[in-house]
Amino acid sequence: MHPIQFAQSRPDHPAIIMAGSGEIVTYREMDEAANRIAHWLRSQGLQDGDAFGVLMENNARYHEMYWASQRAGTVLVPISTHLTASEILYILDDSDAKLLVSTRKFDAVTDVVRAERSDLGLLIFGVDAEQTLAAQPSEPIADQSVGRVMLYSSGTTGRPKGILPAPPEDPAVEAPTPLMGLATMGFQIKGDGSCVYLSPAPLYHAAPLGWSSTIHRLGGTVVVMEKFDPEGALATIEKYGITDSQWVPTHFVRMLKLPEAIRTKYDLSTHKGALHAAAPCPVDIKKEMIEWWGPIIFEYYAGSEGNGMTMVGSADWMTHQGTVGRAILGTIHICDDNGDEVPVGDEGVVFFESPYPFEYHKDDAKTKEATHPKGWTTLGDIGKLDEEGFLYLTDRRSNMIISGGVNIYPQEIENLLITHDKVMDAAVIGAPCPEMGEKVVAVVQPVSMDGAGETLEAELTDFLSGELARLKMPRIFDFRAELPREANGKLYKRKLKDEYLQAAGTS
């Protein structure tokens, strides 16, 4: 199954609906737009394996760009809309991108790109793109081949890393993908074209783009939110009869903190499946979501690297609370710092043994660092397996705090803080400490900054003290109106840590 086929068999079926504006793109329209873009890519000299960047907000053109690349054999490089011009230039240079596609919303950035990279082609929607593409043929290009997506890590611990997947074994444009089987068999998404799928997160991230394009391969409709809003998400489920969806834990937190009258206002009866991933979900938050939405929630653990995946449904999760599931792609190995496997129940670095190789673009050192001597690969997470093969994640190796020689994992503290009624978000980091090496700092986003201060600090300290050992207790509470969290749920802890390093004069 493929959108090319659905453009013939059900041309008027909606492929894309923009939740806010109500704009509809049918399968025929999406197919013709993708063909025009593919012709334009060829006219600009792009052949198989050539890269181009896409810097756009959520809009209906994003999927058209994706499907054009998927039939032109090119490498599409999605770029975060939160990056600075210098960070975007780094990605364009690192990926060897020959073009950048953007919109008027990013004029300030594209002006800098134009000045710094006069050799780089630019196509801007709202300026020249509409007229340029309208002049291209709507029929397929003669030399179609499947493309790839090179995603860049969010750069939470340093420079973003380009993740280049291996070329597909089958270069045919309409060849099936592993995600299609995972969607229908693992996550029980209907493959008969009846799925109406809600994508509330930015399309430049791996999960929203990967899963929504999979829905297109199954003939369903993708409803894209221009920007996530907690009540707006519930309203969208009711309005469009959403059957399936994909979320991150911060979405859950913000919906749960809505007043009860708003949470119960909308009809969610069509909603049969909700996926979530990308960041750790506190146990109490997950339990509340299952109580609210019912046993329709699936969690998975994977990365842009595509080297493995786990999955757990609501029923198994309730009997194995805190797990991210059992492996459905690859085999899990838990290893110590020497690379030796540890006994069941012991913590260590999580490696996947899988048939899907990857490499960090132009960074052999990072690829080697992520690769076990036996060829297994890791995303850098710490975790453990139980006797039944369920994986539990402790934290990322790079986030670990070492205080007085003791290893402290921030995730445990963050998961507790986020359940407090007055906390909207929380990040726990290690800051320099002359006595202990590092001290625990809790950077907290209150529900209201009006309540921030010593009283709330005392309340949170009391709240944590019954759950945490003394050495894990935050020594500092830092209240902020917003945390540097990406829309995919990942925190830019590097930015917070850098602030404390600079303050201590150790950066």
pLDDT, tens digit (0-9, with 9 covering 90-100), for 444-486? 999 999 989 999 999 999 999 978 878 889 999 999 999 988 7
Give, as one character, the DSSP assignment of residue 167: P
- Most confident range, picked from 100-114, 392-406, 427-441: 100-114
pTM for the full model? 0.84
pLDDT, tens digit (0-9, with 9 covering 90-100), for 66-99? 999 999 999 999 998 988 898 899 999 999 999 9
CA distances from 463 to 109, 255, 415, 459 (A): 44, 23, 12, 6
Please state, in angstroms and rounded to a whole number, the distance separating the CA atoms of residues 116 and 111: 9
End-to-end CA distance of the chain: 53
Alpha helices in 1-153 (DSSP H): 3-9, 27-43, 61-72, 85-94, 107-116, 129-134
Which domains are assigned to the chain?
Answer: 23-172 (3.40.50.12780), 402-504 (3.30.300.30)
pLDDT, tens digit (0-9, with 9 covering 90-100), for 408-438? 878 889 989 999 999 999 999 998 887 778 8
